[in-house]
Amino acid sequence: MTAFKFNLKNSKLKYPLLITAIVAGACFLWYQQVFAPIHSQIISLKKDRDNQKDTLRTIMALKPQLNTLKEDLNRSENTLDSLKSMFPDNKEIPKLIREITGVARASGITATKFNPLADVEREYYIENRYNITVSGTYHNLANFFAFLANFQLIINLSTVSILANPENQPQEGVAAIETEPETIVSSFEMTTFSSKK
C-alpha cells in the first residue's frame, strides 16, 4: 500500500480542489442570498395563509348570524328614530311652532302668545320651556290639550290657568250662530325635552 501525499503544487490535485472550493463558495452564497430569503418568505406566507384560513372559518361560522344581526340593527335604528322624535337632539322652535299652530287650528283654538323661556339644564337632558296663551271655548281647549297629549314629542304642561275671556263681547252685526265666541283664555308653561350632548 502506498501512502498518499497531499501536495498543493501537484496540478492534478490543485485544480480539482480549486474548482470544488469555487463551487462550494458559490453554493454557499446562493444559499445565503437566494434560497434562505425565499424560504423565510415562503414560511411567512404559509403563516399568513393559515391565519387567513382561521379568519375565514370564523367568518363562515358567524355568517348564519349576519341576518339576525341585521334585523336587530334595523329594529334598534327604528327604536332610536322613534326615541329621537320624542326626545330630539336639539330644540326645534320653528317646527314646534308649526305643530302647535296646526293643533290649535285643528281644535278651533287661537294661539295668542308663544314665548320661549330660558332652558334648564339637568344632568342628562335639557328642559325647553315656553309660555303659551291660547283662547277659545272650553271644549276646544280640552281638544287642544288632548292633541298635545298625543304628540310624539314628550310635553309637560304646568302653571295652567283658565280664565273667562275679558274680550268676550258680542260683536255687532254678527249672529251668534255664525261664530262661536272665544269664552276662555288659558295661559300655561309648556316644557319639552332635548338630549344633552
Tens-level pLDDT at each residue, the chain (197 residues):
555 566 667 677 777 778 888 888 888 888 888 888 888 899 999 999 999 999 988 888 888 888 888 888 888 888 777 766 666 666 777 888 888 888 888 888 988 888 888 988 888 888 889 999 999 998 999 999 998 888 888 888 999 999 888 776 555 555 544 556 778 999 999 998 887 76
C-alpha torsion angle, residues 165, 115, 130, 151 (rounded to 10): 80
Q: What is the pLDDT of residue 84?
A: 66
Q: What is the pLDDT of residue 87?
A: 60
Q: What is the pTM of this model?
A: 0.53
Strands (E), the chain: 110-116, 120-121, 125-136, 155-164, 184-195
Amino acid in position 104: A
* Cell output for 19: 474548482
Buried b (16+ CB within 10 A) or exposed e, 85-124: eeebeebeeeebeebbeebbeebebebeebeeeeeeeeee
Residue 31: DSSP 8-state: I
Q: What is the pLDDT of residue 170?
A: 54
Q: Where are the domains of the chain?
A: 11-85, 93-170+178-195
Name the superfamily (CATH) of residues 93-170+178-195.
Answer: Ribosomal protein S6/Translation elongation factor EF1B (3.30.70.60)
Q: What is the pLDDT of residue 90?
A: 67
Q: What is the pLDDT of residue 18?
A: 81
Q: What is the pLDDT of residue 103?
A: 87
Distance CA 123, CA 7 (A): 99
Q: Collapse the DSSP code of 44 into the 3-class scheme (helix H, G, I; strand E, B; otherwise coil) and give the result.
A: helix
Q: What is the pLDDT of residue 167?
A: 75
